[in-house]
Amino acid sequence: MVNLIQSLGAYALKRVFSAGRLGLFFVYAIRGIFLPPRKFWATIKQIQFIGSKSLVVIGFTAAFTGMVLALQGYHTLSRFGSEGWLGSVVGLSLIRELGPVLSALMVAGRAGSAMAAEIGIMRIEEQIDALECMAIDPFSYLVTPRLIASLIALPLLTAFNNVVGILGGYMIGVGLLGVNAGAFWDGLITNVDWSDLNMALVKSVCFSILIAWVCTYKGFYTGVDEGRFGPEQVGRATTEAVVISSIAVLTGDYVITSVML
Amino acid sequence: MPNENLIEIRGLNSLYQDRQVLFDINFSIPRHRVTVIMGVSGSGKTTIFRHLIGLKKTGPKEITIDGEDLGAFSEARLMQYRRRIGVLFQSGALFNSMSLAENIAIPLRAHTRLADETIRIMTVMKLNLVGLADFSDYMPSQISGGMKKRAGLARALIMDPEILFVDEPSSGLDPITAAGLDRLIVELRETLGMSAVVVTHELESAFKIADLMVVMDEGRIMAVGSPGEIRNSADGRVRQFLNREADTCKVGLESYYRRLFEGK
C-alpha cells in the first residue's frame, strides 16, 4: 500500500514537473524573439521548410477533400432538391473545420516530425550542449525561428487549402455533377462571411503554436528524463511529437469551435 | 595579482537521478596550465567536466572560478563565463546542416557584429590552425571523425577563450591525428598562455600534455600531482591504471551467491 502511494506520488510529481517545464519552454521560446542571435534567415529557412515544402501534400489533401465533400454534399442535398446550396456546404465545411484541421494535421505529420527529429538528433549528439557552452540561448536559436515560421506558414497553408478545396469541390459539383456555376458561387459568397474566415484564422494560428510548441519540446528534451541519448529516444520523441500534436489539434479544434460558435 | 589557481573544486558531490557519481571531490585547476583529469570509463571525469562548463548544476561553494561561486551564477553571469571558455566535445558536436566554416563562425555571428569578410578571414585562420583550411566548404558528413574533432577545436578557439575544456581529445583518432591535437593543446598553452582542462583515459596523451594530473576512480580522486608524481605513485589502484591491468573479481564468493539466489 505504501509502495502504491509512493508510486502515485512520484508519478504525480513527475507530471507536475513536466507541465511546469512545458510552460517554461514556451516562455523561453517567446523570450527568444528578443534575444540574440539574429534569426531572420533562420526563420525564412523554416518558413520555406514548413510552408512551401508542404504545398504539394496540402494541395493534394485539399483537392480530394473538396472533391469528396462535393460528391457527398450533392447526394445529400439532391434528396431535398437543394443542389444549389453545394457551394456553401463545401465552402463552410472547408473554411470553418476541414481546412484548418487537415492543414494542421499535415504540417504536424510532415514538418512537426522533422522538427522533433532534427532537434532530437542535436540533443543526442551534444549539439544543444555545445550551443549552451558557446553562450548561445538554445531556445532562441532552435525553437523561436520554428515557432515564428509555423505562425506565419500555417495560416497561409490553411488559406491555400481552402482555395484548392473549394476549386476541387467546384470541379466535381459543377463540372461532373452539373450544378449551376452561378448557384455554386452565389451560395458560397452569400453564406461565407468574415466570422467564418476569422474562425479559420484563429484556429490556424492556435494550431501552429501547438504544433511548434509540442514538436520542438519533444525534440529538445529527447532522452533527458531517461538519461539515455540514442537513436531509440529520437524515434520515440518523433512519434510522441506527432501523436500529441495531432491530439492537441483535434482537441483544440473542439474547444475553439465551442467558444467561437 | 590574480590567484595562481583559476578554478577551485571543494567538496563536490554529484548525483545522476538517485545514484551518487562523485564523492567529495577536491582539487585546484591552475592558471595557464594544462590540467588532465583521467580515469577509467565511469570514474566520473566527464561529470566533473559537465560541472565545470555549467551544464550540470553545482551546489554552493563547490566550484569557484576566480573566487566566484559557479553554483551561485545567475543566468546572465553564466553566459558571461561561457564567453570566456571554449569547449570541445567528444564528438565535435558540429551542426550537420552547416559547412565547417559556418559551424566555426557560429559564436562570432552570435556575439559580435563583425563584417562577413572579417568573419570569413577569422574562420579560415582557425581552420588553418587545425589543418583544415582546404575543407571550409565541406559538410560534417563529408569528413572523418578526426577532422570533425579538429573542426570542433577550431570552433572552440574562435573566440580566443581564456580556458579551453576538451573532452576525450584522442579517443577514436589514429595516433598521428591524436598526437597533432596533443601538440596543438600544448602550443596554445605555451604561446597564448591558455589554461586547459582535458578529460581523457588515454595515458600516453595525458602524460604528453599534462602539467597537473588528477586520477579518478569510482567517483573519487585517487591521486593529484605532476605527471612525474603520478608516474611514481605507490597507490595500488593508480599503478593498476597506469599499468593497464584488468580488474580481478572484487566480489567475494559469499556475496556473489547471495546476489545470485536472493537477488540482493
* Per-residue pLDDT at B37 exceeds 60: yes
Residue A147 covered by a domain:
yes
pLDDT tens-digit readout, A169-192: 999 999 999 999 999 999 999 999
Higher model confidence: residue B2 or residue A86? A86
B224 strand-pairing partners? B214
User: What secondary structure letter does DSSP report for A38?
Assistant: P
A121 touches chain B (CB under 8 A): yes
Task: Return the pLDDT at B262.
Answer: 63
Three-state SS string across chain B, please? Answer: CCCCEEEEEEEEEEEECCEEEEEEEEEEEECCCEEEEEECCCCCHHHHHHHHCCCCCCCCCCEEECCEEHHHCCHHHHHHHHHCEEEECCCCCCCCCCCHHHHHHHHHHHHCCCCHHHHHHHHHHHHHHCCCHHHCCCCHHHCCHHHHHHHHHHHHHCCCCCEEEEECCCCCCCHHHHHHHHHHHHHHHHHHCCEEEEEECCHHHHHHHCCEEEEEECCEEEEEECHHHHHCCCCHHHHHHHCCCCCCCCCCHHHHHHHHHHCC
Residue A238 covered by a domain:
yes
Q: Tell me whether residues A135 and B79 touch, CB distance under 8 A.
A: yes
Q: Which of A100, A59, A60, A56 is nearest to A205 (CA)?
A: A100
Set of cell numbers at residue B179: 598526437
Set of cell numbers at residue B85: 571558455
User: Per-residue confidence at B2, pLDDT binned at 50, 70, 90?
Assistant: low
Asked whether A121 and A96 are in contact (CB, 8 A), the reply is no
Helices (H), A33-143: 40-50, 55-79, 86-92, 99-107, 113-124, 127-133, 138
Q: Distance between CA atoms of B203 and A96, rounded to whole angstroms? A: 68
Residue type for position B15: L
Minimum Cα–Cα distance from B91: chain A residue:
A125
Residues near A206 by Cβ (< 8 Å), separated by ≥ 6? A252, A256
Q: Tell me whether residues B93 and A136 touch, CB distance under 8 A.
A: no
Residue A118 covered by a domain:
yes
A129 touches chain B (CB under 8 A): yes
Question: A residues 133-152 near B, CB within 8 Å?
Answer: 133-136, 141
Tell me what the mean pLDDT of segment B6-24 comes to: 91
Tell me what the mean pLDDT of segment A205-221 comes to: 97
B88-108: buried (b, 16+ CB within 10 Å) or exposed (e) per residue? bbbbbbbbeeebbbbbbbbbb
Asked whether A172 and A70 are in contact (CB, 8 A), the reply is yes
A chain contacts of residue B93, beta-carbon cutoff 8 Å: 125-127, 129-130
Which residue, among A31, A134, A141, A229, would best test binding to B if mutated, counting the most B CBs under 10 Å from its CB? A134
φ/ψ (deg, to 5) at A225: -70, -35
Residue A22 covered by a domain:
no
φ/ψ (deg, to 5) at B116: -55, -40
User: Per-residue confidence at A56, pLDDT binned at 50, 70, 90?
Assistant: very high
CA distance B100 to chain A (A): 14
* Per-residue pLDDT at B239 exceeds 90: no
* Residue A236: other Cβ atoms inside 10 A: 16
CA distance A225 to chain B (A): 9
Residues near B184 by Cβ (< 8 Å), separated by ≥ 6? B129, B130, B153
- The ipTM (two decimal places) reads 0.86
Residue A219 covered by a domain:
yes
* Per-residue pLDDT at B259 exceeds 80: no
What length does chain A have?
261
> What proportion of chain B, given as a percentage, has pLDDT over 90?
60
Q: How far is CA B99 from CA A141, A261, B112, in A?
A: 17, 51, 20
Residue type for position B41: S
Q: Which domain holds residue A124?
A: 42-48+56-260
Q: How many domains are there within chain A?
A: 1
B87 touches chain A (CB under 8 A): yes
* Per-residue pLDDT at B256 exceeds 80: no
CA distance A178 to chain B (A): 52
Q: Which of A126, A132, A134 sits opposite B106 (nearest CB)?
A: A134
* Per-residue pLDDT at B253 exceeds 70: no
B15 touches chain A (CB under 8 A): no
Residue A211 covered by a domain:
yes
* Per-residue pLDDT at B263 exceeds 60: no
User: Per-residue confidence at B251, pLDDT binned at 50, 70, 90?
Assistant: low
Residue A5 covered by a domain:
no
Residues near A236 by Cβ (< 8 Å), separated by ≥ 6? none
A77 touches chain B (CB under 8 A): no
Task: Return the pLDDT at B171.
Answer: 77
Residue A24 covered by a domain:
no
Least confidently predicted of B26-30, B107-111, B249-253: B249-253
pLDDT tens-digit readout, B112-171: 989 999 999 999 999 998 889 899 999 999 998 888 999 999 999 999 999 999 998 887
Question: B residues 127-156 near A, CB within 8 Å?
Answer: 155
B chain contacts of residue A125, beta-carbon cutoff 8 Å: 91, 93, 96
Tell me what the mean pLDDT of segment B87-94 comes to: 91
pLDDT tens-digit readout, A114-154: 999 999 999 999 999 999 999 999 999 999 999 999 999 99
Least confidently predicted of A2-6, A54-58, A93-97: A2-6
Q: Tell me whether residues B91 and A125 touch, CB distance under 8 A.
A: yes
Set of cell numbers at residue A230: 540514442
User: Per-residue confidence at B1, pLDDT binned at 50, 70, 90?
Assistant: very low
A chain contacts of residue B155, beta-carbon cutoff 8 Å: 134
CA-angle at A77, arms to A72 and A81, nearest 5°: 150
Which residue, among B111, B126, B165, would best test binding to A if mutated, counting the most A CBs under 10 Å from its CB? B111
| Cis bond before residue A37 (omega within 30° of 0) | yes
Does the pTM surpass 0.90? The reply is no
CA distance B109 to chain A (A): 7
